[in-house]
Chain A
Amino acid sequence: SQQGEEDPQALSIQEGENATMNCSYKTSINNLQWYRQNSGRGLVHLILIRSNEREKHSGRLRVTLDTSKKSSSLLITASRAADTASYFCATNQVTGNQFYFGTGTSLTVIP
Chain B
Amino acid sequence: GAVVSQHPSRVICKSGTSVKIECRSLDFQATTMFWYRQFPKKSLMLMATSNEGSKATYEQGVEKDKFLINHASLTLSTLTVTSAHPEDSSFYICSAKSTTNQPQHFGDGTRLSIL
Contacts and interface: CB of A to CB of B under 8 A. Distances in A.
Contacts of B6: 42
Interface string B49-63: 101000001010000
A106 B41 CA distance: 9
A10 to B, nearest CB: 10
Contact of A96 (B44, B57, B102, B103): B57
Contacts, number: 68
A43 B93 contact: yes
Interface residues of B, number: 29
Chain B interface SS verdict (over half): strand
If over half of A's interface residues share one DSSP class (helix, strand or loop), that class is named, otherwise mixed; here it is strand
Interface string A75-111: 0000000000000101010001111111110100000
A11 B12 CA distance: 34
B103 A104 contact: no
B43 A88 contact: yes
A54 interface: no
Given A42-B93, A99-B46, A102-B43, A90 B104 contact: yes
Contacts of A31: 100-101
B45 interface: yes
Nearest to B105: A45
Interface residues of A, number: 27
A43 to B, nearest CB: 4
Contact of B49 (A41, A96, A103): A96
B67 interface: no
A30 interface: yes
A19 B108 CA distance: 26
B103 A33 contact: yes
7 contacts: A33-B103, A42-B108, A48-B101, A48-B103, A98-B57, A99-B49, A101-B46
